Amino acid sequence: MSLAIVALGVVALLVMLVYLKFDAFISLILVSLGVGLLEGMDISKVTVSIYNGIGGQLKSLILVIAFGAMLGRLLSDSGAAQRISTTMIKTFGMNNLQWAMMLTAFIIGVTMFFEAALIVMIPIIYTVVIDTKKSLMYVGLPAVIALSITHGFLPPHPGPAAVCDAYGALMGKTLLYGLVLALPIATFITWLFKRLPYIERINCTIPEGMTTPKIFKDDEMPSFGVSILCALLPIFLMAIATVFDLMFPKNLPFMKVINFFGGAPIALLCSVLLGSYLLGIRRGHTTEAVVKSLKDSVKSVAMIILIIAAGGAFKQVIVDSGVAMVVKDTMQGLNVSPLVMAWSIAAALRLSVGSATVSVMTASGLIAPIIPDCGVSVELMVLATACGSAWTSHVNDAGFWLYKEYYNLTVIDAIKTRSVYTTILGLMGLGGCMLLNALGF
């Protein structure tokens, strides 16, 4: 009966999100209340469980999301993102334009949400289209592929970062494994789409009258070195800490310092502080202007924070009501790889709900009980869940419509491109997780 109640809760969530168009945060809270009460929890304990779930979920994660948004805004407002793009295009040359766009989007997308990163990339893409006389699809598709992969696979993005917290995974290690998967997958999908005959036939032009963010002149942008330093400093610090953890005992004095600066919140904070100076104050911007930019960035992620908090509430109700043990026993009785199980639940939710964040949070609440005994690297379980939530973006996904409008596509052509490439990247992500698991990672 316990599992039937959880299943009913998930169905109710889908009805509220898909058919009634309820707010995702309110829907998750209502489902958490309903599941708790139907499972027989005392009415006063249901709310306590929700409060504990929200607090336990956010913890350091709220810092990761906030600092990540601030860093992305600094890169955008200062012209650093545009500097990275123009330098990459000059370095790779016109014959390798698509690879330049893919790597540029990959670098920018590591620390920015999909929607924010796409809006930053759009004026760059449009400018390249005009200058090179290439089609918008030729220039822009590799960029959006890379942005989707970084958003779906890599912490410190909210979805993967939240699952790291829910599963007790090391964020730096998850990031390294994610990079091992993401770069080859982005490269393969870009290569594949260059060779699909129907891509060349898609009528894709810059939308008439489309307003875009500012295009910076050369002397208005920071240097490439400063731009890339601010963009990749968090990744570098987290990677260093993870590598050193594998090489040295954690109780050594210098390891405490390494792990302090290599933790995701502190790594991002360091980059925000450095970026505030190098990209803002040192370039003549007032402190007030920099602070305003940072404040505005946090407003854009408020709803993401609430959704993740509500997902934590749902997870905690499942644990406190005793359903977690039933879920654990049932799933362990199935002759299915834990990686496939995690991916399948997240993918089914993504297909139904549309939101990758809602999908990954709901799936992590169902999968978390089996993590201690699943016999698979917890970091790979994070990536399998995240890959499932990135699978098959279509008409119920806000990112799908943003892509369609900025790329001036029909719904059918948007499905032929975005829905197809997200399906491929989700499947390849699962395959990559299973390969790494077979290799003993």
Residue 211 pLDDT: 46
- For 33-47, 169-183, 194-208, 416-430, which range has the lowest pLDDT when averaged over its residues? 194-208
- For 26-40, 309-323, 408-422, which range has the lowest pLDDT when averaged over its residues? 309-323
The structure tokens listed for 180 are 């091992």
- Over residues 101-105, the mean pLDDT reads 90
Residue 6 pLDDT: 77
- Over residues 243-260, the mean pLDDT reads 86
Query: Band of the pLDDT at 397, cuts 50, 70, 90?
Result: confident
Query: Band of the pLDDT at 377, cuts 50, 70, 90?
Result: very high
Residue 306 pLDDT: 86
Write the CB contacts of 159 (distance below 8 Å, at least 6 apart in sequence): 151, 152, 356, 357, 360, 361, 386, 389
- For 182-196, 206-220, 238-252, 398-412, which range has the lowest pLDDT when averaged over its residues? 206-220
Closest CA to 268 of 226, 239, 233, 229: 233
Most confident of 216-220, 279-283, 325-329, 389-393: 279-283
Per-residue pLDDT reduced to its tens digit, 291-348 = 998 988 888 778 778 887 887 888 788 778 876 666 666 666 667 889 999 999 899 8
Return d(Cα 176, Cα 239) in angstroms, integer.
7
Query: Band of the pLDDT at 229, cuts 50, 70, 90?
Result: very high
Residue 329 pLDDT: 67
Per-residue pLDDT reduced to its tens digit, 210-226 = 545 567 888 889 999 99
Does residue 158 have a pLDDT over 80? no
Does residue 127 have a pLDDT over 80? no
Does residue 35 have a pLDDT over 70? yes
Residue 330 pLDDT: 67
Residue 241 pLDDT: 87
Does residue 121 have a pLDDT over 50? yes
